[in-house]
Amino acid sequence: MDKKRLLIVDDQVGIRILLLEVFATEGYDTFQAANGRAALDIVRTNRPDLVLLDMKIPGMDGLEILKQIKEYDRDIKVIMMTAYGELDMIKEATDLGALMHFTKPFDIDEMRLAVNMQLGHGSSSQFATGT
């Protein structure tokens, strides 16, 4: 079975490194981009299954990157990340095809669970259940 591919797009290097480490450990092929141009190049060359996309990136904002990803391939899943609670931008991202959004600082375990659920990776048997 092929490894699922995950692209992390954020201008903050610390967030990219954290997410790369978490999702590489989960068994994904991970890619990273600090700006829209690099992200779109990776989308075209590697066709990720899912993109974690920051809403605010210098040069080309997350909404523009999202539009171009969806024009290239509507099946690529996108989860938005934002440090800002701008409801109009979040609504527009959802209208453009984003599955959900996480507000920074996000809970890394919630992010990991959401990505695993979207990509059908892992199972609930990994988690302990209380009696």
70-98 pLDDT tens trace: 999 999 999 999 987 777 889 999 999 99
Contact (Cβ atoms closer than 8 angstroms) between residue 42 and residue 65: no
Give the model's confidence band at 131: pLDDT under 50 very low, under 70 low, under 90 confident, else very high. Answer: very low
Amino acid at 86: E
Neighbours of 50 (CB within 10 A): 22
Strands of 50-54's sheet in order across: 29-33, 5-9, 50-54, 77-82, 100-103
Question: Residue 128 has what pLDDT?
Answer: 36
Q: Which residue has the tokens 């990273």?
A: 32
Strand partners of residue 51: 7, 78
4-21 pLDDT tens trace: 999 999 999 999 999 999
Distance CA 55, CA 42 (A): 18
pTM score, whole prediction:
0.90
- The whole-number average pLDDT for the span 57-64 is 93
127, pLDDT greater than 60:
no
Q: Which domains does the chain have, with CATH numbers?
A: 3-117 (3.40.50.2300)
